[in-house]
Amino acid sequence: MGILEKVAVDVHPDPKAPPGSYQGLKLQDQGLITNLPFNIAYEAAEEFTKLLQQRVKGAGFLKNLLLQRICSSFEAGRKTAEMMLEKRTITDSVLEEVDDEDYTGTEKPMDTLTDVEASCLQTIVTELSRPEARDPKLEAVEYFLDNHRTGSGLAKQTWLEHGCIVFTQYYDTALWVASAIAKAHPDIPVAVYAGVGKSRIFSGEDSSAIEREPIKEGVRTREIKIVVATDAACEGLNLQALGTLINVDLPWNPSKLEQRLGRIKRFGQSRSTVDMANLVYSETRDEKVYSALSKRLKDKFDLFGSLPDTIDDEWIEDVEQMEEELDKFVHLREESKNAFQLRYQTEEALKDSDRRWELCQEVLSRQELLERLSEGWSR
Protein backbone atom coordinates (compact mmCIF):
# COMPACT_ATOMS: atom_id res chain seq x y z
CA MET A 1 0.00 0.00 0.00
CA GLY A 2 3.04 2.28 0.21
CA ILE A 3 2.31 3.19 3.84
CA LEU A 4 5.64 1.94 5.19
CA GLU A 5 8.96 2.50 3.48
CA LYS A 6 10.55 -0.75 2.39
CA VAL A 7 14.01 -1.61 3.65
CA ALA A 8 16.34 -2.60 0.83
CA VAL A 9 19.26 -5.03 1.16
CA ASP A 10 22.71 -4.83 -0.40
CA VAL A 11 24.39 -8.25 -0.60
CA HIS A 12 28.18 -8.58 -0.34
CA PRO A 13 30.48 -9.52 -1.96
CA ASP A 14 28.65 -8.13 -4.96
CA PRO A 15 29.96 -9.88 -8.13
CA LYS A 16 28.99 -6.79 -10.14
CA ALA A 17 30.91 -4.38 -7.91
CA PRO A 18 33.72 -2.47 -9.64
CA PRO A 19 37.31 -3.65 -9.11
CA GLY A 20 38.76 -2.55 -5.78
CA SER A 21 35.41 -2.53 -3.98
CA TYR A 22 36.65 -5.15 -1.48
CA GLN A 23 40.33 -4.42 -1.09
CA GLY A 24 40.49 -6.28 2.22
CA LEU A 25 39.23 -9.59 0.80
CA LYS A 26 40.95 -12.26 -1.25
CA LEU A 27 38.17 -13.54 -3.47
CA GLN A 28 37.74 -16.05 -6.25
CA ASP A 29 34.32 -15.36 -7.72
CA GLN A 30 32.17 -15.09 -4.55
CA GLY A 31 34.26 -17.39 -2.37
CA LEU A 32 37.14 -16.58 -0.01
CA ILE A 33 40.48 -17.97 -1.15
CA THR A 34 41.72 -20.51 1.37
CA ASN A 35 45.21 -21.80 2.18
CA LEU A 36 47.01 -25.12 1.72
CA PRO A 37 46.25 -26.56 5.21
CA PHE A 38 42.51 -26.03 4.71
CA ASN A 39 42.59 -27.43 1.17
CA ILE A 40 44.25 -30.63 2.40
CA ALA A 41 41.85 -30.87 5.36
CA TYR A 42 38.80 -30.35 3.14
CA GLU A 43 39.92 -33.08 0.74
CA ALA A 44 40.36 -35.40 3.74
CA ALA A 45 36.84 -34.51 4.96
CA GLU A 46 35.33 -35.35 1.57
CA GLU A 47 37.27 -38.63 1.45
CA PHE A 48 36.10 -39.49 4.98
CA THR A 49 32.44 -38.94 4.08
CA LYS A 50 32.77 -41.18 0.99
CA LEU A 51 34.33 -43.97 3.04
CA LEU A 52 31.70 -43.65 5.77
CA GLN A 53 28.84 -43.80 3.28
CA GLN A 54 30.24 -46.99 1.77
CA ARG A 55 30.49 -48.64 5.18
CA VAL A 56 27.44 -47.35 7.05
CA LYS A 57 23.97 -47.13 5.57
CA GLY A 58 22.23 -43.93 6.68
CA ALA A 59 25.40 -42.01 7.59
CA GLY A 60 24.14 -38.87 5.90
CA PHE A 61 23.79 -37.04 9.21
CA LEU A 62 27.50 -37.35 10.03
CA LYS A 63 28.46 -36.65 6.44
CA ASN A 64 26.58 -33.36 6.41
CA LEU A 65 27.69 -32.47 9.94
CA LEU A 66 31.39 -32.77 9.15
CA LEU A 67 31.23 -30.95 5.82
CA GLN A 68 28.99 -28.16 7.11
CA ARG A 69 31.13 -27.61 10.20
CA ILE A 70 34.43 -27.55 8.32
CA CYS A 71 32.79 -25.03 5.97
CA SER A 72 31.69 -22.98 8.99
CA SER A 73 35.18 -22.32 10.33
CA PHE A 74 38.58 -23.95 10.69
CA GLU A 75 37.87 -24.07 14.43
CA ALA A 76 34.60 -26.00 14.06
CA GLY A 77 36.10 -28.40 11.50
CA ARG A 78 39.07 -29.22 13.73
CA LYS A 79 36.91 -29.76 16.83
CA THR A 80 34.51 -32.04 14.96
CA ALA A 81 37.34 -34.24 13.68
CA GLU A 82 38.78 -34.42 17.22
CA MET A 83 35.41 -35.50 18.67
CA MET A 84 35.06 -38.19 16.02
CA LEU A 85 38.59 -39.48 16.62
CA GLU A 86 38.05 -39.61 20.36
CA LYS A 87 34.69 -41.37 19.79
CA ARG A 88 32.88 -38.71 21.77
CA THR A 89 29.18 -38.02 21.19
CA ILE A 90 29.01 -35.55 18.33
CA THR A 91 27.64 -32.34 19.74
CA ASP A 92 28.03 -28.73 18.86
CA SER A 93 29.20 -27.87 22.39
CA VAL A 94 27.50 -27.11 20.94
CA LEU A 95 24.34 -28.17 18.93
CA GLU A 96 23.16 -31.60 17.96
CA GLU A 97 23.59 -35.11 19.29
CA VAL A 98 23.89 -38.26 17.25
CA ASP A 99 21.12 -40.68 18.13
CA ASP A 100 21.12 -44.43 17.68
CA GLU A 101 17.96 -43.90 15.63
CA ASP A 102 20.00 -42.06 12.98
CA TYR A 103 21.55 -45.35 11.90
CA THR A 104 20.18 -48.67 10.78
CA GLY A 105 23.07 -50.65 12.30
CA THR A 106 23.48 -51.57 15.96
CA GLU A 107 26.66 -49.53 16.48
CA LYS A 108 27.40 -45.86 16.00
CA PRO A 109 29.86 -45.33 13.11
CA MET A 110 32.40 -43.56 15.35
CA ASP A 111 32.69 -46.65 17.56
CA THR A 112 34.15 -48.68 14.72
CA LEU A 113 36.37 -46.33 12.72
CA THR A 114 38.57 -48.01 10.13
CA ASP A 115 42.26 -47.13 9.97
CA VAL A 116 41.74 -45.19 6.73
CA GLU A 117 38.83 -43.20 8.18
CA ALA A 118 40.84 -42.40 11.31
CA SER A 119 43.74 -41.27 9.10
CA CYS A 120 41.43 -38.84 7.27
CA LEU A 121 40.23 -37.36 10.56
CA GLN A 122 43.77 -37.06 11.88
CA THR A 123 44.75 -35.20 8.71
CA ILE A 124 41.98 -32.67 9.35
CA VAL A 125 43.13 -32.12 12.95
CA THR A 126 46.81 -31.85 12.01
CA GLU A 127 46.33 -29.48 9.07
CA LEU A 128 43.88 -27.15 10.80
CA SER A 129 46.16 -26.98 13.87
CA ARG A 130 49.09 -25.56 11.90
CA PRO A 131 50.06 -21.93 12.63
CA GLU A 132 49.73 -21.09 8.94
CA ALA A 133 46.11 -22.32 8.93
CA ARG A 134 44.69 -18.81 9.27
CA ASP A 135 40.97 -18.65 8.64
CA PRO A 136 40.09 -16.09 5.92
CA LYS A 137 36.59 -15.73 7.37
CA LEU A 138 38.01 -14.01 10.43
CA GLU A 139 39.93 -11.59 8.22
CA ALA A 140 36.72 -10.96 6.27
CA VAL A 141 34.71 -10.23 9.43
CA GLU A 142 37.36 -7.78 10.63
CA TYR A 143 37.49 -6.15 7.19
CA PHE A 144 33.73 -5.52 7.05
CA LEU A 145 33.61 -4.29 10.66
CA ASP A 146 36.57 -1.91 10.47
CA ASN A 147 37.21 -0.95 6.86
CA HIS A 148 34.27 -1.44 4.53
CA ARG A 149 32.05 1.67 4.49
CA THR A 150 28.48 1.71 3.27
CA GLY A 151 25.74 4.31 3.19
CA SER A 152 25.87 7.74 1.64
CA GLY A 153 27.10 11.17 2.66
CA LEU A 154 27.49 11.61 6.41
CA ALA A 155 25.80 8.23 6.91
CA LYS A 156 28.66 6.41 5.18
CA GLN A 157 30.21 4.41 8.00
CA THR A 158 31.97 1.17 8.81
CA TRP A 159 29.79 -1.79 9.72
CA LEU A 160 30.93 -1.51 13.33
CA GLU A 161 29.60 2.06 13.40
CA HIS A 162 26.31 0.94 11.85
CA GLY A 163 26.11 -1.94 14.34
CA CYS A 164 26.44 -5.56 13.23
CA ILE A 165 25.04 -9.01 13.97
CA VAL A 166 27.29 -11.93 12.99
CA PHE A 167 25.40 -15.19 12.43
CA THR A 168 26.68 -18.77 12.55
CA GLN A 169 25.02 -22.17 12.89
CA TYR A 170 27.51 -23.38 15.47
CA TYR A 171 28.28 -22.35 19.02
CA ASP A 172 32.02 -23.05 18.85
CA THR A 173 32.29 -20.87 15.75
CA ALA A 174 30.36 -18.14 17.59
CA LEU A 175 32.72 -18.23 20.60
CA TRP A 176 35.78 -18.22 18.35
CA VAL A 177 34.56 -15.24 16.29
CA ALA A 178 33.41 -13.26 19.35
CA SER A 179 36.69 -13.84 21.18
CA ALA A 180 38.74 -12.69 18.17
CA ILE A 181 36.60 -9.56 17.66
CA ALA A 182 36.84 -8.67 21.36
CA LYS A 183 40.62 -9.00 21.37
CA ALA A 184 40.85 -6.72 18.32
CA HIS A 185 38.44 -4.22 19.96
CA PRO A 186 39.21 -4.35 23.72
CA ASP A 187 37.09 -1.27 24.47
CA ILE A 188 33.92 -2.62 22.83
CA PRO A 189 31.63 -5.25 24.41
CA VAL A 190 30.91 -8.21 22.12
CA ALA A 191 27.85 -10.29 22.95
CA VAL A 192 27.22 -13.95 22.08
CA TYR A 193 23.49 -14.65 21.79
CA ALA A 194 22.94 -18.41 21.93
CA GLY A 195 20.76 -21.10 23.49
CA VAL A 196 19.55 -21.04 27.08
CA GLY A 197 22.51 -20.68 29.47
CA LYS A 198 25.07 -20.27 26.67
CA SER A 199 25.05 -16.51 26.05
CA ARG A 200 28.19 -14.59 26.99
CA ILE A 201 29.69 -11.10 26.91
CA PHE A 202 33.29 -10.63 25.81
CA SER A 203 35.49 -7.69 26.77
CA GLY A 204 39.08 -7.83 25.60
CA GLU A 205 40.61 -11.08 26.86
CA ASP A 206 37.80 -11.72 29.37
CA SER A 207 34.32 -13.17 29.04
CA SER A 208 31.45 -13.95 31.39
CA ALA A 209 28.02 -15.53 31.25
CA ILE A 210 25.05 -13.26 30.62
CA GLU A 211 21.31 -13.69 30.19
CA ARG A 212 19.77 -12.94 26.82
CA GLU A 213 17.50 -10.11 27.96
CA PRO A 214 20.42 -7.76 28.88
CA ILE A 215 21.83 -8.35 25.39
CA LYS A 216 18.54 -7.27 23.79
CA GLU A 217 18.41 -4.20 26.00
CA GLY A 218 22.06 -3.36 25.29
CA VAL A 219 21.38 -3.47 21.55
CA ARG A 220 18.29 -1.31 21.93
CA THR A 221 20.25 1.37 23.84
CA ARG A 222 23.23 1.06 21.45
CA GLU A 223 25.54 0.04 24.29
CA ILE A 224 26.14 -3.23 22.42
CA LYS A 225 26.94 -2.77 18.74
CA ILE A 226 28.30 -6.24 17.93
CA VAL A 227 26.29 -9.42 18.50
CA VAL A 228 27.54 -12.85 17.45
CA ALA A 229 24.54 -15.17 17.31
CA THR A 230 23.68 -18.77 16.65
CA ASP A 231 20.39 -19.62 14.99
CA ALA A 232 18.81 -19.39 18.46
CA ALA A 233 18.39 -15.73 17.50
CA CYS A 234 16.66 -16.49 14.17
CA GLU A 235 13.15 -15.93 15.46
CA GLY A 236 11.52 -13.58 17.94
CA LEU A 237 14.50 -11.23 18.26
CA ASN A 238 14.27 -7.59 17.17
CA LEU A 239 17.66 -6.07 16.41
CA GLN A 240 16.69 -3.22 14.11
CA ALA A 241 19.11 -0.96 16.03
CA LEU A 242 21.85 -2.81 14.10
CA GLY A 243 22.29 -1.96 10.43
CA THR A 244 24.47 -4.75 9.04
CA LEU A 245 24.65 -8.57 9.07
CA ILE A 246 27.46 -11.04 8.39
CA ASN A 247 26.70 -14.72 7.73
CA VAL A 248 29.90 -16.51 8.75
CA ASP A 249 28.48 -19.75 7.41
CA LEU A 250 25.69 -20.70 5.05
CA PRO A 251 22.88 -22.95 6.33
CA TRP A 252 21.71 -25.30 3.58
CA ASN A 253 18.24 -23.98 4.30
CA PRO A 254 17.30 -20.70 2.56
CA SER A 255 14.45 -19.99 4.97
CA LYS A 256 16.98 -19.70 7.81
CA LEU A 257 18.82 -17.04 5.82
CA GLU A 258 15.55 -15.14 5.49
CA GLN A 259 14.95 -15.47 9.23
CA ARG A 260 18.44 -14.16 9.98
CA LEU A 261 17.93 -11.16 7.72
CA GLY A 262 14.60 -10.51 9.41
CA ARG A 263 16.38 -9.59 12.66
CA ILE A 264 17.46 -6.25 11.15
CA LYS A 265 15.28 -5.85 8.03
CA ARG A 266 12.17 -4.85 9.93
CA PHE A 267 9.97 -1.95 10.98
CA GLY A 268 11.98 0.55 13.02
CA GLN A 269 15.20 0.10 11.05
CA SER A 270 16.75 3.57 10.66
CA ARG A 271 18.65 2.69 7.49
CA SER A 272 16.81 2.63 4.17
CA THR A 273 19.25 -0.03 2.96
CA VAL A 274 20.87 -2.61 5.21
CA ASP A 275 23.98 -4.62 4.31
CA MET A 276 24.44 -8.39 4.39
CA ALA A 277 27.72 -10.24 3.77
CA ASN A 278 27.73 -13.97 3.03
CA LEU A 279 31.07 -15.71 3.65
CA VAL A 280 31.90 -19.01 1.96
CA TYR A 281 35.19 -20.74 1.22
CA SER A 282 36.13 -20.99 -2.44
CA GLU A 283 35.77 -24.39 -4.15
CA THR A 284 33.65 -25.99 -1.42
CA ARG A 285 30.10 -27.30 -1.32
CA ASP A 286 29.02 -24.14 0.47
CA GLU A 287 30.19 -22.05 -2.47
CA LYS A 288 28.33 -24.37 -4.85
CA VAL A 289 25.08 -23.92 -2.93
CA TYR A 290 25.53 -20.17 -2.50
CA SER A 291 26.36 -19.69 -6.17
CA ALA A 292 23.08 -21.34 -7.15
CA LEU A 293 21.10 -19.31 -4.61
CA SER A 294 22.72 -15.96 -5.30
CA LYS A 295 21.70 -16.04 -8.97
CA ARG A 296 18.13 -15.75 -7.73
CA LEU A 297 18.70 -12.91 -5.30
CA LYS A 298 17.64 -10.24 -7.75
CA ASP A 299 14.97 -8.43 -5.73
CA LYS A 300 16.56 -6.24 -3.07
CA PHE A 301 13.34 -6.29 -1.04
CA ASP A 302 12.49 -10.00 -1.06
CA LEU A 303 15.75 -11.89 -1.27
CA PHE A 304 14.79 -15.39 -0.27
CA GLY A 305 11.02 -15.55 -0.62
CA SER A 306 11.32 -17.34 -3.95
CA LEU A 307 13.48 -20.19 -2.66
CA PRO A 308 12.52 -23.53 -1.11
CA ASP A 309 12.83 -24.10 2.62
CA THR A 310 15.43 -26.83 2.22
CA ILE A 311 18.12 -27.88 -0.24
CA ASP A 312 18.15 -31.67 -0.70
CA ASP A 313 21.47 -33.48 -0.42
CA GLU A 314 20.96 -34.95 -3.90
CA TRP A 315 20.78 -31.44 -5.36
CA ILE A 316 24.13 -30.52 -3.79
CA GLU A 317 25.72 -33.56 -5.41
CA ASP A 318 24.45 -32.48 -8.84
CA VAL A 319 24.67 -28.76 -9.64
CA GLU A 320 22.53 -29.05 -12.77
CA GLN A 321 19.75 -30.77 -10.81
CA MET A 322 19.93 -28.09 -8.13
CA GLU A 323 19.54 -25.36 -10.78
CA GLU A 324 16.54 -27.18 -12.29
CA GLU A 325 14.82 -27.74 -8.92
CA LEU A 326 15.31 -24.12 -7.85
CA ASP A 327 13.93 -22.84 -11.15
CA LYS A 328 10.95 -25.20 -10.83
CA PHE A 329 10.21 -23.89 -7.33
CA VAL A 330 10.49 -20.26 -8.44
CA HIS A 331 8.04 -20.93 -11.29
CA LEU A 332 5.48 -22.55 -8.96
CA ARG A 333 5.78 -19.72 -6.46
CA GLU A 334 5.22 -17.11 -9.17
CA GLU A 335 1.99 -18.89 -10.15
CA SER A 336 0.84 -18.79 -6.51
CA LYS A 337 1.77 -15.13 -6.20
CA ASN A 338 -0.21 -14.28 -9.33
CA ALA A 339 -3.28 -15.98 -7.84
CA PHE A 340 -2.84 -13.94 -4.66
CA GLN A 341 -2.62 -10.70 -6.64
CA LEU A 342 -5.85 -11.53 -8.51
CA ARG A 343 -7.63 -11.93 -5.18
CA TYR A 344 -6.27 -8.89 -3.38
CA GLN A 345 -5.01 -6.35 -5.90
CA THR A 346 -7.64 -6.17 -8.66
CA GLU A 347 -10.11 -3.29 -8.94
CA GLU A 348 -12.98 -5.64 -8.01
CA ALA A 349 -11.22 -6.64 -4.77
CA LEU A 350 -10.53 -3.02 -3.83
CA LYS A 351 -14.13 -1.75 -4.26
CA ASP A 352 -15.03 -2.41 -0.63
CA SER A 353 -11.55 -1.62 0.72
CA ASP A 354 -12.81 0.70 3.46
CA ARG A 355 -14.21 -2.32 5.29
CA ARG A 356 -11.20 -4.60 4.84
CA TRP A 357 -9.06 -4.78 7.96
CA GLU A 358 -5.88 -5.79 6.09
CA LEU A 359 -6.05 -2.47 4.21
CA CYS A 360 -6.97 -0.28 7.18
CA GLN A 361 -5.00 2.97 7.08
CA GLU A 362 -6.73 4.75 9.94
CA VAL A 363 -5.95 4.67 13.64
CA LEU A 364 -9.21 3.95 15.41
CA SER A 365 -10.12 5.13 18.89
CA ARG A 366 -11.03 2.45 21.40
CA GLN A 367 -14.73 3.37 21.12
CA GLU A 368 -14.64 3.29 17.31
CA LEU A 369 -12.88 -0.06 17.43
CA LEU A 370 -15.59 -1.53 19.69
CA GLU A 371 -18.32 -0.19 17.40
CA ARG A 372 -16.64 -1.61 14.29
CA LEU A 373 -16.11 -5.01 15.90
CA SER A 374 -19.73 -5.06 17.08
CA GLU A 375 -21.05 -4.75 13.53
CA GLY A 376 -22.28 -7.87 11.80
CA TRP A 377 -20.45 -9.45 8.88
CA SER A 378 -21.47 -8.07 5.49
CA ARG A 379 -21.84 -10.26 2.44
Question: Confidence class of residue 17 from pLDDT cuts 50, 70 and 90?
Answer: confident
Parse the chain into domains and list their residue ranges. 8-31+134-311, 36-128
Judge contact between 152 and 49, C-beta under 8 A: no
pLDDT tens digit sequence for 213-243: 999 999 999 999 999 999 877 766 778 889 9
Mean pLDDT check: name the lowest of 4-8, 23-27, 182-186, 248-252: 4-8
> Can you tell me the mean pLDDT for 26-54?
93
Do the Cβ atoms of 264 and 240 come closer than 8 Å? yes
The alpha carbon dihedral of 136, 188, 228, 90 has a sign of positive
Alpha carbon distances (Å) from 252 to 83, 196, 230, 239: 23, 24, 15, 23
Q: Are 167 and 248 in contact (CB under 8 A)?
A: yes
pLDDT of residue 179: 97
Residues with Cβ within 8 Å of residue 267, at least 6 apart in sequence: 4, 240
CA distance 377 to 379: 7
Rounded percentage of the chain residues whose pLDDT exceeds 90:
42
Query: How many C-beta neighbours within 10 Å does residue 280 have?
Result: 25
* Contact assessment for residue 194 and residue 171, using Cβ atoms and an 8 Å cutoff: yes
Mean pLDDT of the chain: 80
Please give the full DSSP string across 217-272, using - where no structure is assigned: HHHHTTS--EEEE-GGGSSS---TT--EEEESS--S-HHHHHHHHTTTSSTT-S-S
The CATH number of the domain covering residues in 8-31+134-311: 3.40.50.300
